[in-house]
Amino acid sequence: MNGERCVVAVDGPGGSGKSTVSRRLAARLGARYLDTGAMYRAVTWAVLQAGVDPHDADAVGKVAREAELCITTEPVPATVVINGVDVTGDIRGPEVTGEVSAVSAVPEVRRILVARQKEIIAAAQRIVVEGRDIAAVVAPDADLKVFLTASAAERARRRSREHGADPAAVAAALDRRDLLDSTRRVDPLQPAPDAVVLDTTDLGIEEVVERLLEMLRARGRA
């Protein structure tokens, strides 16, 4: 891989494969990797620990302003520390998962975290960034913008297999978060106008990674 600057933005709903794909792509590129969703989950964890109502925008914003958040950018699952506590595992629990959409919809939270994400991207020579508003908001000048998707049934199957949960319950939770994220007033989940939409329903992880590498090669970035 050459040493030119390269930013890849990967968006998509839960279960579309964006986290695994993004990590593997970063490893293939010798790039950094940023999981922006983990940042929103960390703030959600802090909100719950503070006993704050996730729907109280003012109180949630205050927690976000005062939080000290650190996240690693190696192409492996991110280590996340907030207010001195390693919450890497805790932020994947059902309590955080159930409230992260509400916290993520708070404009103050998005303002704070997007600014931090932009700082991390600016400091990296090569980075793959994944989330739900990367191509449109966080990195609008990315060299490659991709929106990964998959059928509802496949996304639920992947998540239930990953977490050992009931497929019907997983499907309902995914539907709920999709609705909340796609209808929020600030930075809703949707493909950027110039993003490549890739359906991963019938594709393996390596197949998706190879397709993204082909797109980067066509752009002279890999």
**Predicted confidence pLDDT, tens digits, the chain (222 residues):** 445 899 999 999 888 889 999 999 999 999 999 999 999 999 999 999 999 999 999 999 999 999 999 999 998 878 999 999 999 999 999 999 999 999 999 999 999 999 999 999 999 999 999 998 899 999 999 999 999 998 888 888 887 877 667 778 878 887 777 777 777 777 777 888 899 999 999 999 999 999 999 999 999 887
Among the listed residues 158, 160, 124, 159, the one whose alpha carbon sits nearest the alpha carbon of residue 139: 124
- Give the model's pLDDT for residue 3: 59
Pull the structure tokens for residue 140. 């609008």
- Separation in Å, CA 142 to CA 70, 90, 127, 129: 23, 31, 10, 10
Whole-model pTM: value is 0.88
- Give the model's pLDDT for residue 54: 97
Give the C-alpha separation, 218 to 210, whole Å: 12
Evaluate whether residue 222 is within a structural domain.
no
- Separation in Å, CA 50 to CA 24, 46, 105, 112: 35, 6, 18, 18
Evaluate whether residue 189 is within a structural domain.
yes
- Give the model's pLDDT for residue 2: 47
- Separation in Å, CA 10 to CA 20, 124, 156, 161, 192: 11, 16, 20, 22, 10
Provide the domain count of the chain.
1
Give the C-alpha separation, 89 to 189, whole Å: 25
List beta partners, residue 33.
Answer: 128
Q: Which residues contact 106 (CB under 8 A, 6 or more apart)?
A: 57, 60, 61, 64
The boundaries of the domain holding residue 194 are 6-215
- Give the model's pLDDT for residue 1: 41
Give the C-alpha separation, 97 to 100, whole Å: 5
Evaluate whether residue 221 is within a structural domain.
no
Instruction: Provide the CA 16 distance to its chain's centre, in angstroms.
Output: 11
Evaluate whether residue 104 is within a structural domain.
yes
CATH of the domain at 168: 3.40.50.300
Evaluate whether residue 1 is within a structural domain.
no
